Structure 1
């Protein structure tokens, strides 16, 4: 696997070694010993989540507060998404900055997002299936949501797709009203 720190260095782009031939392809999407060696991270994943979304569905920007903050290892297993990661660590030099990355079943890229980040994605293809591992369980009382189109963050979402959000996500807080992580 190839591991590349992104513009916010704690967020890692992971590109697995893919073996392709006339039959199709094979790759190890996660192998704990290789992940730990290549990332120098000692994290444990405790929950897997899988969602299907239609074109224009935007999920996020979600995160959980301590003591149940979540790190995530994510990938797209069908389709294509624009993935957004926002640094909400108040003490970080990249606080309030975001990363945008295209993840797809074709490019097989993965992102590792540590605790302290809000996360969301927009489905660009007709459908997408999104799969991710988390370092803590889902705790609804600790979950928070930043409004996806917050003016302070000024995320450059594509304007050629009609964006559809859940009622819960449409009620997300502005970035300046958000409970941040230390």
Structure 2
């Protein structure tokens, strides 16, 4: 597998080596040993979630306060997604910036989202399913929701008609409001992160 850090510090994209034959294909979706060598830290799954969305559904931008904080390893297991990560960490050299990838089961591409970085996606096909492998369990009251249409973020979602969104996401605060409320996890340089 090929693991590369994106332009946002601590965010990694994982591209597996696909093995195909007459029966179909096989690939390793995640190998902790290889991942930890590149990341320089451990990632221990504590919860796995799935969400299924119809085409043109927009979910996010979501993160979790600290404690407990939450890293995510996200993979599209059915359909296709335009996936976004947004740096929500005050003090980060890329604070407020985003990176995007197309995730689908054919490519097997996955994205690692570290603590303090927000995540969201637009479903590009009906019945699209995303898997979230999480570093912490759900704790009520720790969710941070940033409006995915925040004009300061200006995320290039690429839809052709208004997306389907939850009221929670449509009414979420802006990045600036979340920062002013003190909800965001400050950036820690790689050499200052716990291992």
Q: Tell me the TM-score range normalised by the shorter chain.
A: over 0.9
Match of 1:146 in 2: 146
**Pairwise CA RMSD of aligned residues?**
1.3
Higher strand proportion (structure 1 or 2): 1
Match of 2:189 in 1: none
Residue 6 of structure 2 corresponds to residue 19 of structure 1: no
- Could you tell me which of 178, 184, 190 is aligned with 1:180? 184
Match of 1:42 in 2: 42
Match of 2:133 in 1: 133
Q: Which runs of 5+ in 1 are unaligned?
A: none
**Where do 4+ consecutive residues of structure 1 move more than 4 Å?**
none
Match of 2:69 in 1: 69
Match of 2:58 in 1: 58
1:42-89 CA distances to partner (integer Å, 9 max, x unpaired)?
121111111111001111111110001110111101111011111011
Paired residue total:
182
- 1:161, CA displacement in angstroms? 4.0
1:79-138 CA distances to partner (integer Å, 9 max, x unpaired)?
110111110110111111111111111211000111011111110112211001111111
How far, CA to CA, are the matches of 2:87 and 2:169 in structure 1?
A: 18
Match of 2:191 in 1: none
Partner secondary structure for residue 165 of structure 1? coil
Choose 44-53 or 34-43, whichever is displaced more: 34-43
- 1:17, CA displacement in angstroms? 1.6
1:154-176 CA distances to partner (integer Å, 9 max, x unpaired)?
11111314300112111210111
Match of 2:193 in 1: none
TM-score, normalising length: structure 1: 0.95
How far, CA to CA, are the matches of 2:89 and 2:56 in structure 1?
A: 29
The answer as to whether partners of 2:32 and 2:42 remain within 8 angstroms in 1 is no
TM-score, normalising length: structure 2: 0.89
The answer as to whether partners of 2:58 and 2:122 remain within 8 angstroms in 1 is yes
Partner secondary structure for residue 55 of structure 1? coil
The answer as to whether partners of 1:48 and 1:133 remain within 8 angstroms in 2 is yes
